[in-house]
Amino acid sequence: MTQSFAHIGPLRMYYEVHGAGDRPLILIHGGGSTIESNWSTVLPLLAARRKVIAVELQAHGRTADVDRPETFQQDADDVAALVRQLNVASVDILGFSNGGHTAMQVAIRHPAIVRRLVIASASHTRAGMIDGFFDMMEHASLDDMPAPLKQAFLAVNPDPRALQTMHDKDAARMRGFEDWSDDALRSITAPALVINADRDVIKNEHAVAMSRLIPNARLLIVPGTHGSYIGEACTFVPGSKIPKMVVGVVEEFLDEGTQTQNSNIKTQKLPGAGT
């Protein structure tokens, strides 16, 4: 593993590189998370077969806050700038929860750099969240933030003021969230895999709808709760085999494009049947 910071405008973005390969996979964490709290369970599995670049976005973990609001569009632009700094033509992206929102915005705003897209437990409208979610956000406080997320943040950034800032900016972003148009999702050109848990904070019918709006999308609904299927710190289920299964599905989806290309090449070399 290598650890680095990228200077992107005023932002000093922390990122890690794990594994090796020609088609990098960018991991984008959820709100309030760090690389460790979001990805510790599945990152080693993913990095065993490919290069994985895990980022920490503005105000999260080791990436300090800067004097601007948090927006999914800005986060997407920051991720795209990192990809270009790394001189990579295109990447695969896996985003969870708020990271899934950011991943969608990368695909919408910077389509040329996205080869394949995995959207895990994210929505594009307020109605896509479970009933009462936004009422809860109106009263969100740091005291209500899950202890595993607070502990993970302070383990890599021991400044309690930074933790408060991150919480407040995340909460403000969600309170002010405005629906994205269906046409925005229809504009996504990258093949996509939409993942949701059957007891998620995203309604399953919304995940189905997203998979139908994105032109070349697949859908996976798995047993579990928000993030349990990737072993996220707040919902990790000891001994569960589901994260390994989900990694297998994600890997097959990411490899599908290359396998199709290789199959097409082989087919072209074969004599035409029935001629």
First to last CA, the chain: 53
C-alpha dihedral sign at 81, 57, 230, 218? negative
Q: How many domains does the chain have?
A: 1
pTM for this entry: 0.93
For 90, phi then psi, to 5°, come to: -155, 160
* 275: in domain: no
CATH, residue 70: 3.40.50.1820
For the chain, 275 residues long, give each residue's pLDDT as a single digit of tens: 999 999 999 999 999 999 999 999 999 999 999 999 999 999 999 999 999 999 999 999 999 999 999 999 999 999 999 999 999 999 999 999 999 999 999 999 999 999 999 999 999 999 999 999 999 999 999 999 999 999 999 999 999 999 999 999 999 999 999 999 999 999 999 999 999 999 999 999 999 999 999 999 999 999 999 999 999 999 999 999 999 999 999 999 999 966 544 444 343 443 333 33
H/E element holding 192?
strand 192-199
Q: In angstroms, rounded to a whole number, what is the distance separating the alpha carbons of residues 244 and 229?
A: 9
**Residue among 211, 216, 213, 209 nearest 191 (CA):** 216
Question: Which residues does residue 197 pair with via DSSP β-bridges, in sequence order?
Answer: 222
Any domain includes 118? yes
Residue among 90, 85, 114 at smallest CA distance from 102: 114
Residue 86 lies in a domain: yes
Q: Let me know if residue 219 belongs to a domain.
A: yes
- Give me the helix-helix angle, 98-109 and 160-175, nearest 10°: 60
In a domain, 16, yes or no: yes
Cβ-based neighbours of 248, under 8 Å, separated by 6 or more = none
Asked if 79 and 102 count as a contact pair (C-beta separation under 8 A), the reply is yes
- Domain of residue 126: give its range: 2-269
